[in-house]
């Protein structure tokens, strides 16, 4: 099956879900969740001016890794 036909089949399968009405409303955050967010935000490594050079290394390695990715069948 070529890519166009695969895409068309996927669109056909997903169409009923695209038309579903999903009710949304305010998200209520628990006190426990808010405490965990505060804990992460207040960590030393998350403060302004903290050394975040390791993040650049991870970004670079990720870009290099995924640059070599190829589609498999």
Tens of pLDDT, residue by residue over 20-61, are 988 888 999 999 999 999 999 999 999 999 998 988 999 999
Q: What is the pTM of this model?
A: 0.44
Instruction: Judge whether 44 and 50 are in contact, CB under 8 Å.
Output: yes
Instruction: Classify residue 43 by its DSSP letter.
Output: S
Structural domain includes residue 25? yes
pLDDT bin (cut points 50, 70, 90) of residue 1 is low
What domain range includes position 42?
Answer: 3-67
What's the rounded Cα separation, in Å, for the pair 22 and 71?
A: 33
Structural domain includes residue 73? no
Structural domain includes residue 15? yes
pLDDT tops 60 at residue 62 = yes
Tokens of 61: 């390695």
């Amino acid at each position: 099956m070529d890519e166009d036909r695969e895409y068309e089949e996927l669109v056909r399968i997903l169409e009923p879900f695209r038309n579903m009405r999903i009710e949304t409303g305010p998200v209520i955050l628990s006190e426990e969740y808010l405490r965990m967010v505060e804990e992460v935000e207040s960590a030393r490594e998350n403060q302004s001016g903290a050394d975040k050079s390791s993040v650049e290394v991870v970004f670079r390695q990720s870009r290099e890794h995924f640059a070599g990715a190829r589609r498999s069948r």
